């Protein structure tokens, strides 16, 4: 039970503990972007943050921001891209369920969004990192992060890398995450514009006027209830529901007990506060999925499911491999990799060497390995034989892994047991307009209520690319700030 979640009538508030034109719940990427934009218009802005400091999940993230359409960084690294090309990719890669209007809007504004981040002081180093991996190993600024250069996406749009990464001074020494280097300049910019922030404040419900307009928040600080007045608007920016097991069971049961790339404060409260006012939701089952193995390993082997069948080109974006594995292969995958390829993978540069995994089984023949894993007799042998035959010709007619990664599998041959190697966060949430207004189930905007970031259903529906969450969180966070400031 969470009886705090009911909306409160503004008539019943005797005194306000805090007041501002725009009140933002959550000081992660969406909240920071909203704060900068709202304050830029001259509004008085207050951010209430549940933890003891700004940053949210963003500050701990790898820092990818998904942008394209021909950003200066893409150009400096020698890549052509266009708004249409970016949209063609996202409309397929973010679906089924991707909203073409939102995708088009996001792509059309992407170069401008990059420029805005740079104006806020976010640094990007014009160096491309082209190796398979979850992140670049150093301070390289650009990378493929959604399988743009893998089949079938490389036949749908011209491959262009769009994962833009803020530059760190000393990443190899582990000084700070790129996410921190994104958040720090934004928070500094907000502070310089007069944005106030108060911490350890947990928003629990919305305050509503008799005419239906949202007028503030009820929250708790150190157990004490607080009333916070928003003269123009409330922006909800407090993250996903990855840490709310009851909500996961209702909407995304495969993720129960396996949240990742999120923080424990991601309890879905913003979603529920708005639902209590009749807010609409969208694609609540959609999730990002991390696949916890180093891509330098994956690309050098073949992935098979519990029937010994391949199901995805192994040079695909690892997050998509994770989605396909968790949802379509019952969380069951084995990476078949020979000794030489395994050594090569271990020697390859990677930002996540801790995800380089030892072989669970090593055998002298595929037949033995098949038996050790417990796969149905003959299945893995047929799969490897077919793969090897075509790989020797530099082809992969089954799944179109790129020729550079095709090499017959020799002996000794090992397998990495990747069952239960998926984790992730939720992508569904409040349905919003392109101006970041929270929509009622009637289809109308709820007056005075705005939202952005992972408490909303954003650009990604069922698919994902790394950088989409910091991307749409910052992009639509800005919109939320601007729209709320107008009141």
Residues that bind a copy of itself (CB under 8 A): 1-6, 95-97, 99, 249-251, 253-254, 272, 275-278, 280-285, 307, 309-311, 327-328, 376-379, 382, 386, 389, 397-399, 431, 440-444, 457, 461-462
Minimum distance from residue 305 beta carbon to a copy of itself (Å):
9
In the complex with a copy of itself, which residue's Cβ is closer, 5 or 176? 5
> Which parts of 276-376 fold into alpha helices (H)?
295-298, 318-323, 339-347, 366-373
Minimum distance from residue 300 beta carbon to a copy of itself (Å):
21
Cβ-based neighbours of 244, under 8 Å, separated by 6 or more: 266, 267, 268
Q: Which of 408, 419, 421 is nearest to 338 (CA)?
A: 408
Structure tokens at 227: 């009333």
Minimum distance from residue 386 beta carbon to a copy of itself (Å):
6
Minimum distance from residue 58 beta carbon to a copy of itself (Å):
26
Minimum distance from residue 100 beta carbon to a copy of itself (Å):
11
Minimum distance from residue 254 beta carbon to a copy of itself (Å):
6
In the complex with a copy of itself, which residue's Cβ is closer, 16 or 327? 327
Beta bridge partners, 456, equal: 430
Distance CA 202, CA 439 (A): 23
DSSP 95-150: -SS--HHHHHHHHHTHHHHHHHHHHTT--B---EE-SSSSS-SSS--EE--SSTTS
In the complex with a copy of itself, which residue's Cβ is closer, 53 or 378? 378
Task: Write the burial class of residue 360 (CB in 10 Å: 0-12 exposed, 13-18 middle, 19+ buried).
Answer: middle
Other CB atoms within a 10 A radius of the CB of residue 479 amount to 24
In the complex with a copy of itself, which residue's Cβ is closer, 47 or 423? 423
What letter does residue 362 receive in the DSSP assignment? Answer: E
- Per DSSP, the three-state class of 248 is helix
In the complex with a copy of itself, which residue's Cβ is closer, 305 or 474? 305
Structure tokens at 97: 């369920």
Other CB atoms within a 10 A radius of the CB of residue 188 amount to 14
In the complex with a copy of itself, which residue's Cβ is closer, 126 or 306? 306
Minimum distance from residue 446 beta carbon to a copy of itself (Å):
11
In the complex with a copy of itself, which residue's Cβ is closer, 4 or 314? 4
In the complex with a copy of itself, which residue's Cβ is closer, 2 or 343? 2
Minimum distance from residue 72 beta carbon to a copy of itself (Å):
35
- Render the burial of 425-445: b for 16+ CB within 10 Å, e for the rest: bbbbbbbbbeebbbbbeeeeb
Minimum distance from residue 279 beta carbon to a copy of itself (Å):
8
In the complex with a copy of itself, which residue's Cβ is closer, 20 or 321? 321
Torsion of CA 98, 100, 104, 106, to 10 degrees: -30
């Amino acid at each position: 039970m969470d009886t705090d979640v009911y909306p409160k009538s503004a008539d019943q508030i005797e005194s306000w503990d805090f007041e501002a034109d725009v009140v933002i719940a959550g000081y992660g990427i969406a909240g920071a972007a909203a704060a900068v934009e709202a304050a830029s218009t001259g509004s008085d802005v207050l951010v209430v943050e549940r933890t003891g400091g700004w940053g949210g999940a963003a500050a701990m993230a790898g820092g990818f921001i998904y942008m394209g359409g021909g950003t200066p960084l893409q150009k400096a690294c020698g890549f052509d891209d266009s708004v249409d090309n970016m949209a063609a990719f996202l409309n397929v890669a973010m679906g089924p369920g991707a909203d073409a209007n939102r995708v088009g809007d996001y792509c059309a504004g992407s170069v401008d969004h990059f420029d805005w981040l740079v104006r806020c002081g976010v640094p990007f180093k014009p160096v491309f990192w082209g190796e398979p991996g979850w992140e670049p190993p150093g301070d390289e600024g650009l990378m493929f992060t959604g399988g743009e250069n893998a089949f079938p996406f490389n036949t749908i749009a011209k491959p262009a890398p769009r994962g833009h990464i803020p530059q760190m001074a000393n990443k190899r020494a582990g000084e700070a995450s790129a996410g921190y280097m994104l958040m720090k300049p934004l928070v500094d910019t907000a502070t310089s514009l007069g944005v106030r922030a108060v911490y350890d404040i947990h928003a629990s419900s919305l305050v509503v006027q008799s005419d239906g307009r949202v007028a503030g928040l009820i929250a708790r600080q150190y157990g004490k209830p607080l009333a916070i007045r928003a003269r123009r608007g409330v922006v909800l920016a407090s993250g996903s529901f990855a840490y709310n097991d009851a909500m996961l069971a209702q909407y995304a049961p495969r993720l129960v007990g396996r949240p990742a790339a999120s923080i424990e404060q991601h309890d879905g409260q913003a979603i529920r506060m708005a639902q209590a006012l009749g807010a609409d939701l969208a694609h609540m089952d959609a999730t990002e999925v991390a696949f916890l193995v180093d891509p330098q390993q994956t690309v050098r082997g073949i992935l098979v499911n519990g029937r010994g069948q391949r199901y995805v080109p192994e040079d695909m974006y690892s997050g998509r491999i994770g989605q396909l594995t968790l949802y379509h292969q019952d969380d069951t995958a084995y990476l078949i990799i020979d000794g030489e390829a395994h050594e090569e993978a271990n020697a390859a540069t990677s930002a996540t060497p801790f995800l380089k995994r030892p072989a669970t089984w090593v055998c002298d023949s595929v037949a033995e390995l098949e038996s050790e894993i417990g796969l149905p007799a003959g299945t893995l042998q047929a799969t490897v034989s077919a793969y090897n035959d075509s790989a020797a010709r530099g082809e992969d007619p089954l799944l179109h892994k790129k020729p550079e990664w095709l090499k017959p599998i020799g002996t000794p041959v090992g397998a990495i047991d990747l069952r239960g190697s998926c984790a992730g966060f939720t992508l569904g949430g409040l349905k919003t307009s392109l101006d970041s207004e929270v929509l009622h189930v009637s289809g109308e905007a709820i007056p005075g209520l705005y939202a952005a970031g992972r408490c909303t259903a954003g650009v990604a529906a069922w698919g994902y690319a790394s950088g989409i969450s910091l991307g749409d969180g910052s992009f639509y966070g800005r919109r939320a700030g601007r729209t709320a400031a107008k009141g």
